[in-house]
A and B are shown apart, each in its own frame.
Chain A
Amino acid sequence: MKKKDVILGVYIIVIALLLMIVMKFHNNSKGDEIRIKVNGRTYGTYSLDKNQEIDIDTEFGHNTVCIEDGEAYMKEADCPDGYCKHQGHISKGNQTIVCLPHKLVVEIKINENQETNNDLIPDAVAK
């Protein structure tokens, strides 16, 4: 191993850690809804306040997302790898659950316009 190898390795780790810290604190407030997207298109949005089970049946396969105590997790999936079931419970704006084989993403949505007057803000701002 040479000096440049070590420098390369250290640079990559430092960049990764910095990105990790930035992402941890970016958009990390608690969300209000989950948005389920399949193949880039929105499948549906569901409130995090209500405990529920959502069955998603698409051409790619079957998933069941469960909302419990304000957190969402992948309860069931018939994808070959099953990684989506191990991605844990999510509730913050920067968290996602991804099921790659089924092209499915569960995102957390934060309703920012709850306290402000919606009419005064153009749509583009309240994304």
Chain B
Amino acid sequence: MSKKIAYLAMLIALAMIFSYVEALIPINFGIPGVKLGIANIVILVGLYVLEPKDVLVISVIRIVLVGILFGNVMSISYSLAGGLFSFLMMWLIKKIKGFSIVGVSIAGGVSHNIGQLAVAILVIENLKLIAYIPVLLIAGAVTGLIIGILSVRIVPVMKKEVEKYG
């Protein structure tokens, strides 16, 4: 149990560092606010090597901690909407046969953006924001693809580590 807590804490720390690094060195996609989402590597790989509920714990704690450290209540609610919706979609897509981690990642990237847009529409009470959906769909698919390709190489390594320590 304590081993598992330490392991999850380490992964939360890793995801937080990814968020921080991304805030320091933003990769510009030409669309304001669109990020690569490196922290999602931890969540995505986690879905393949850990229990889903542990991954959910990592995701939520990371979002809340990063929000408290660098953001505010609003940024936490945007991140939570994106994080929870993308977790749900990635978990569902992973259950369907025929998808690899890249497909799961694409679903995650797209649903993350949809979740955030939904909160934005609720917050400013303006449906016209739907106009941003095409751009956010494409951005989510592209960032998801990149994160997915990176994760393909990480999963086998992580699996070995988890077997050793988990």
Footprint of B on A, CB under 8 Å? 1-5, 8-9, 12-13, 15-17, 19-20, 23, 37, 39-40, 81, 83, 86-87, 94, 96, 98, 100-101, 103-105, 107
A89 to B145, CA, bound (A): 32
Q: B120–A19 contact, CB under 8 A?
A: no
Taking CB atoms, residues of chain B closer than 8 Å to A39 are 124-125
Q: Which residues of B sit under 8 angstroms from A104, Cβ to Cβ?
A: 124
Instruction: Report how many A-B pairs have Cβ atoms within 8 Å.
Output: 91
In contact, B98 and A101 (Cβ under 8 angstroms): no
Do B145 and A37 touch across chains, with their CB atoms under 8 A apart?
no
B154 interface residue (CB < 8 Å to A)? no
B65-104 with Cβ < 8 A to chain A = 74, 93, 96, 98-100, 102-103
Residues of B within 8 A of A (CB-CB), count: 32
Q: Are B137 and A5 in contact (CB under 8 A)?
A: no
For the complex, what is the distance from the CA of A81 to the CA of B137, rounded to whole Å?
Answer: 22
Quick one: CB contact mask for B111-145 with A, threshold 8 Å, 1 for yes? 00000000010011110110101110110110001
A2 touches B134 (CB 8 A): no
Interface of A is mostly: helix
Say yes or no: B106 contacts A8, CB within 8 Å.
yes
Q: Which 3 A-B pairs have the closest CB atoms?
A: A40-B125, A5-B103, A83-B32
When A13-B138, A16-B134, A19-B133 are in contact, do A5 and B126 touch as well, CB less than 8 Å?
A: no
